[in-house]
Amino acid sequence: MKTELIDDCMRLGFGMMRLPRIDGTGTIDLELSKKMVDAFMEAGGKYFDTAYIYEGSEEATKAVLCDRYPRESYYLADKLNASVSKDEQEAKHQIHVSLERTGAGYFDFYLLHGIDEGNHDKFERFGIWEYMKQLKQQGLIRHYGFSFHSSPERLEEVLTKHPDAEFVQLQINYTDWEDPVVCSRRCYEIAASHGIPVVVMEPVKGGKLADPPQQAVDIMRKAAPDASPASWALRYVASLPNVMMVLSGMSTFEQMVDNVKTMRYFQPLSNEECRVLEEVRQVLRQFNDIACTACHYCTPGCPMGIHIPETFAVMNVYKMYGNLGEVRNDYTWRPGGEKASACIQCGQCEEACPQHLPIIRLLEEVVDTLEK
């Protein structure tokens, strides 16, 4: 197995994709974000994660982190997304934009962003793998790897073709471990077989595992009354031996405090606790919720301005808790943007979705349930 790339900090990474927003404006709350960063650093955290396509995130990272702390006191990960570039030149220019936005000088970890079935060949055609080596030689990045949203077979192919990759970022959580689409377990095992460290994304599945149905909460509280549902999810992935870092996109101070409490003095799950989570997993399988993680990759290109993740969040409340009348009332205002019925079925959202959701069909379900 390759040498650990990080061994001097808490294994909780601060994901800068879901920073707190000021109500009613959508603007990132920089003052609250500064307080969260300060508390995170004080607790022993050093790893921060942003990306070229995270709206406002790189600029906010500059304001709350890079302008306020010595460069050697933290690790910063950023990403190059070939899918949003029309040609090789535009794709390769992304790092220079990201460096300017963050003011970081260099990136400790730089990723080919979101390799999947629709874009993996684009990274090859644009020569991005070779470009990563050049960036490392130039001192603009320290380590390079990739984040991944595709099949285990594709992961095996990528790692075999590019053994120089130093780490891989995978979606892993206890509900996706045996999921036939996400295939967390199989992907993790392939990474481990190649001796490559894993950075975990979506450990609480976009917040779903931090606020599961009451039946699942009751099971966890019976086993550990003082432990939050999110702490169970974080400990599950951090207990895997090949995990280098666990990312959490924290959007409130309370989330940050709870996550730090879990990871600062981390204890792996016991066999009995693993049994408890298996019971929770069985409960969650009863709910046919929409597996949206609220990454918002789908929304910038929506020509109708539908807030798709927020729409699905309202729909999931109905799927989990019922009470159609109350949910229909929430749907009139809570998601914002246009209603699901405004969808023109252009398909750009489905191309952008890392979860490979049939968004058009799901929006039709929202219309049939909440608008008729």
Print the SS3 string covering 14-29.
EECCCCCECCCCCCEC
250-299: pLDDT as tens digits: 999 999 999 999 999 999 999 999 999 999 999 988 877 888 988 989 99
Q: Is the pLDDT of residue 323 over 90?
A: no
Which structure tokens are listed for 293? Answer: 């993680």
31-88: pLDDT as tens digits: 999 999 999 999 999 999 999 999 999 999 999 999 999 999 999 999 999 999 999 9
Q: What is the 8-class DSSP label of residue 207? A: G
- Please compute the mean of the pLDDT values over residues 131-138 and round it to a whole number: 98
d(CA 2, CA 219): 38
- Please compute the mean of the pLDDT values over residues 309-331 and round it to a whole number: 83
Q: Between residues 24 and 9, which one has the greater pLDDT? A: 9
- Please compute the mean of the pLDDT values over residues 122-144 and round it to a whole number: 97
Q: Is the pLDDT of residue 3 over 60?
A: no
β strands within 44-184, DSSP E: 47-49, 75-80, 107-115, 141-148, 168-171
User: What residues contact residue 179 under an 8 Å CB cut-off, 6+ apart?
Assistant: none
151-190: pLDDT as tens digits: 999 999 999 999 999 999 999 999 999 988 889 999 999 9
Percent of the chain with pLDDT over 70: 99
Using an 8 Å Cβ cutoff, are 231 and 243 in contact? Answer: no
Q: What are phi and psi of 18, to 5 degrees?
A: -115, 40
Using an 8 Å Cβ cutoff, are 216 and 223 in contact? Answer: no
- Please compute the mean of the pLDDT values over residues 134-155 and round it to a whole number: 96
Angle between helices 253-264 and 229-238 (to 10 degrees): 40
pTM score, two decimals? 0.86
324-372: pLDDT as tens digits: 888 898 888 878 889 999 999 999 999 999 888 999 999 999 999 999 8
* Terminal C-alpha separation, the chain: 56
Q: Residue 76 has what pLDDT? A: 98
Nearest one of 243, 112, 120, 259 to 172, comparing CA atoms? 243
Q: Residue 40 has what pLDDT? A: 98
Q: Residue 24 has what pLDDT? A: 63
Q: Is the pLDDT of residue 313 over 90?
A: no
d(CA 93, CA 105): 15
Which structure tokens are listed for 177? Answer: 């471990």
Using an 8 Å Cβ cutoff, are 6 and 245 in contact? Answer: yes
Q: Residue 25 has what pLDDT? A: 75
β strands within 107-140, DSSP E: 107-115
As a whole number, the mean pLDDT across the chain is: 93
Q: Residue 334 has what pLDDT? A: 77
Q: Residue 122 has what pLDDT? A: 95
Q: Residue 182 has what pLDDT? A: 87
Which structure tokens are listed for 105? Answer: 């000088």
Q: Residue 1 has what pLDDT? A: 39
Q: Residue 2 has what pLDDT? A: 47
Using an 8 Å Cβ cutoff, are 314 and 334 in contact? Answer: yes
